[in-house]
Amino acid sequence: MADAKLQIIPLGGLGEFGMNCLALRYKDDILVIDAGLMFPETELLGVDIVVPDISYLVENRELVRGIVLTHGHEDHIGGLPWILSELNVPVYATEFTLAYVEGKLDEHKMLDDTELIEILPGVKFTLGPFTVEPIRVTHSLVDCVALAIDTPVGVVVHTGDFKIDFSPPDGKAIDLHKFAEYGKRGILALLQDSTNVDRPGYTPGEWSVRPRLDEIFSRTKRKLFFSCFSSSIYRIRIALELAQQHGRKVAILGRSMVESSEIAQDLGYIDVPQGLIIHPGQINDHAPENVMVLISGTQGEPMSALSRASVDNHKHARIQPGDTVLLSSRVIPGNEKSIGRVIDHLCRRDAQVIYDDGSHGLIHVSGHASQEEQRLMINLLRPKFFIPVHGDYRNLKKHAELAKNTGVVKEAIVIEDGDVLELDGESAVRSGKVTAGRICIDSGSTADVVQDIVIRDRRHLSEDGFVLPILTINKLTGLVERQPELVTRGFVSGETGLMEAAREVVIKTLENSTAEEKADYGVIKEKIRIDLKRYIQKNTSRRPLIMPVILEI
Question: How far is Cα 327 from Cα 275, in angstroms, rounded to an integer?
Answer: 25
3-state secondary structure of 326: strand
In 10 A of CB 360, how many CB atoms?
16
Q: How far is CA 242 from the centre of its chain?
A: 30
Helix locations, 353-464, DSSP H: 371-381, 393-406, 452-464
Per-residue confidence (pLDDT) for residue 447, from 0 to 100: 46
Q: Where in the chain are all domains bearing CATH 3.60.15.10? A: 6-201+366-450
Element (H, E) at 529: helix 521-540
Contacts of 222 (CB under 8 A, 6+ apart): 288, 289, 320, 322, 323, 324
**Residue 162 to residues 97, 165, 250, 466, Cα–Cα distance (Å):** 15, 9, 30, 49
Per-residue confidence (pLDDT) for residue 446, from 0 to 100: 45
Beta strands in 268-343 (DSSP E): 277-278, 291-295, 324-327
* Topology given in CATH for the domain delimited by 206-354: Rossmann fold (3.40.50)
**Was 76 annotated as part of a binding site?**
yes
Is the separation of the CB atoms in 178 and 158 below 8 Å? no
Q: Where in the chain are all domains bearing CATH 3.10.20.580? A: 465-552
**Was 520 annotated as part of a binding site?**
no
Is the separation of the CB atoms in 365 and 205 below 8 Å? yes
Our answer to whether residue 368 is catalytic in this structure is yes
Question: How far is Cα 325 from Cα 352, in angstroms, rounded to an integer?
Answer: 6
Question: How far is Cα 176 from Cα 376, in angstroms, rounded to an integer?
Answer: 10
**Residue 29 to residues 3, 24, 69, 139, 517, Cα–Cα distance (Å):** 16, 8, 18, 30, 59
Question: How far is Cα 141 from Cα 173, in angstroms, rounded to an integer?
Answer: 12
**Was 201 annotated as part of a binding site?**
no
Per-residue confidence (pLDDT) for residue 516, from 0 to 100: 76
Q: Could you tell me how many residues make up the chain?
A: 553
User: Which of 307, 350, 311 has the alpha carbon at shortest distance from 327?
Assistant: 307
Per-residue confidence (pLDDT) for residue 188, from 0 to 100: 97
Strand 64-68 vs strand 29-33: parallel, antiparallel, or unpaired? parallel
Predicted TM-score (pTM) of this structure: 0.83
* Topology given in CATH for the domain delimited by 6-201+366-450: Metallo-beta-lactamase; Chain A (3.60.15)
Question: How far is Cα 200 from Cα 348, in angstroms, rounded to an integer?
Answer: 38
User: Which of 407, 30, 10, 438 has the alpha carbon at shortest distance from 194?
Assistant: 10
Is the separation of the CB atoms in 466 and 544 below 8 Å? yes
Question: How far is Cα 169 from Cα 230, in angstroms, rounded to an integer?
Answer: 16
User: Which of 426, 400, 424 has the alpha carbon at shortest distance from 7?
Assistant: 424
**Was 513 annotated as part of a binding site?**
no
Beta strands in 239-349 (DSSP E): 249-253, 277-278, 291-295, 324-327
Element (H, E) at 540: helix 521-540
3-state secondary structure of 149: strand
Rg over CA atoms, the chain: 29
Our answer to whether residue 150 is catalytic in this structure is no
CB neighbour burial string for 125-139, b if at least 16 within 10 angstroms, e if fewer? eebbbbebbbbbbbb
**Was 442 annotated as part of a binding site?**
yes
pLDDT one digit per residue (tens) for the chain, 553 residues? 346 899 999 999 999 988 999 999 999 999 999 999 987 765 555 567 788 999 999 999 999 999 999 999 999 999 999 999 999 999 999 999 999 999 999 998 999 999 999 999 999 999 999 999 999 999 999 999 999 999 999 999 999 999 999 999 999 999 999 999 999 999 999 999 999 999 999 999 999 999 999 999 999 999 999 999 999 999 999 999 999 999 999 999 999 999 999 999 999 999 999 999 999 999 999 999 999 999 999 988 888 999 999 999 999 999 999 999 999 998 877 788 889 999 999 999 999 999 987 666 789 999 999 999 999 999 999 999 999 999 999 999 999 999 999 999 999 999 999 999 999 988 999 999 999 888 877 654 444 555 566 666 666 677 778 888 888 877 777 677 788 888 888 776 555 578 888 888 888 888 888 877 777 788 888 888 888 888 888 888 888 888 888 887 7
Q: Judging by beta carbons within 10 Å of its beta carbon (0-12, 13-18, 19+), is residue 222 exposed, middle or buried?
A: middle
**Was 365 annotated as part of a binding site?**
yes
Is the separation of the CB atoms in 25 and 7 below 8 Å? yes
Q: Where in the chain are all domains bearing CATH 3.40.50.10710? A: 206-354
User: Which of 553, 531, 541 has the alpha carbon at shortest distance from 486?
Assistant: 531
**Was 279 annotated as part of a binding site?**
no
**Was 366 annotated as part of a binding site?**
yes
Question: How far is Cα 157 from Cα 147, in angstroms, rounded to an integer?
Answer: 6
Per-residue confidence (pLDDT) for residue 502, from 0 to 100: 86
**Was 246 annotated as part of a binding site?**
no
Given the residues 193, 323, 417, 419, the one annotated as active site = 193
Tell me phi and psi for residue 256, to 5 degrees.
-65, -35
Per-residue confidence (pLDDT) for residue 43, from 0 to 100: 56
DSSP-assigned beta bridge partners for residue 116: 91
**Was 359 annotated as part of a binding site?**
no
Given the residues 158, 345, 368, 399, the one annotated as active site = 368
CATH code for residues 465-552: 3.10.20.580
Helix locations, 349-444, DSSP H: 371-381, 393-406
SS (H, E, C) 202-235: CCCCHHHHHHHHHHHHHHCCCCEEEECCCCCHHH
Is the separation of the CB atoms in 292 and 252 below 8 Å? no
3-state secondary structure of 114: coil
